[in-house]
Amino acid sequence: MRKVLVVEDESSIRELIALNLRMAGWEVLEAESAERGLQRLAAEGPCAAAVLDVMLPGMNGFSLCETIRRDDDNIGIIILSAKGLEEDKIRGLSIGADDYMTKPFSVSELLARIEALCRRVNRSRPQSADEGESRLVSGQFVLDQKSRILYKSGRPIDLTQVEFQIMELFFQNPGTALVREKILEGVWGPSYYGDVKIVDVNIRRLRMKIEDAPSSPEHILTVWGYGYRWNA
Ligand code: CA
């Protein structure tokens, strides 16, 4: 069964989310704190997705997100915040969240985003070796689609699902300038409601992982006012 972790201290909101998820066929692990959420995840996980409130008693949602992401590159994480601050959004995405919603939010939209996130994760993970090519090669880089690991000159680099899919897009379009909207659509899907800044945040994170000097990148090049270009 598909499992989702919901961490929210406000019981009325948590129960509303959980109820709607259960009606949509999800098994829900509810937690009123980050600490309890981590306990449940360890005992009853793994989960396909996690919905994390930012303002929690004890450990906050950002630290929780970082902690979960450290152990699990595959889980789809959505941050819920009362603040609509751009800094909060960027912060959430840069520490490993895949999506971000501001309260008050529509539960049906939250459900749609969780579904989109999990479809993406499933779509990008081939079930068997027969499903197409399993290794993409570009210069010194090898993208292993079975293990979901990127190798740079033989050295493995762990990527999140989103980072992996951006790399797939680059490898399939070498030397081509990709407009940010195209990257957004290619990775997040055509029905994604978010804005293109999420692309920039993920690119920044990817550069930290694959570039020798992330501030003067040699592989993921910026095409000013447009998007990004892969140069192996
Ligand atoms: Ca809260």
What are the structural domain ranges in the chain? Answer: 3-124, 159-230
**Distance between Cα 63 and ligand 1 center (Å):** 14
pLDDT grade for 210, boundaries at 50, 70 and 90? very high
What fold does the segment set 159-230 form as a domain? Arc Repressor Mutant, subunit A (1.10.10)
Question: Taking ligand 1, which is a single-atom ion, which protein residues have CB atoms under 5 Å away?
Answer: 9, 53, 55
Q: Count of CB atoms within 10 A of residue 60's CB?
A: 14
**Distance between Cα 39 and ligand 1 center (Å):** 19
**pLDDT of 212:** 94
**pLDDT of 82:** 78
**Architecture of the domain made up of 3-124:** 3-Layer(aba) Sandwich (3.40)
**Distance between Cα 209 and ligand 1 center (Å):** 32
**Distance between Cα 9 and ligand 1 center (Å):** 5
**Distance between Cα 14 and ligand 1 center (Å):** 10
What is the percentage of the chain residues whose pLDDT exceeds 70? 91
- CA gap 12, 19 in Å, rounded: 10
pTM: 0.64
Q: Count of CB atoms within 10 A of residue 121's CB?
A: 19
Instruction: State pLDDT tens for residues 141-169.
Output: 999 887 788 999 989 998 888 888 999 99
pLDDT at 7 over 80: yes
**pLDDT of 128:** 45
**Distance between Cα 51 and ligand 1 center (Å):** 12
- The DSSP letter of residue 19 is H
**Distance between Cα 159 and ligand 1 center (Å):** 29
Range list of β-strands (E), 11-64: 27-31, 49-53
CA 2, distance to chain mean position in Å, is: 17
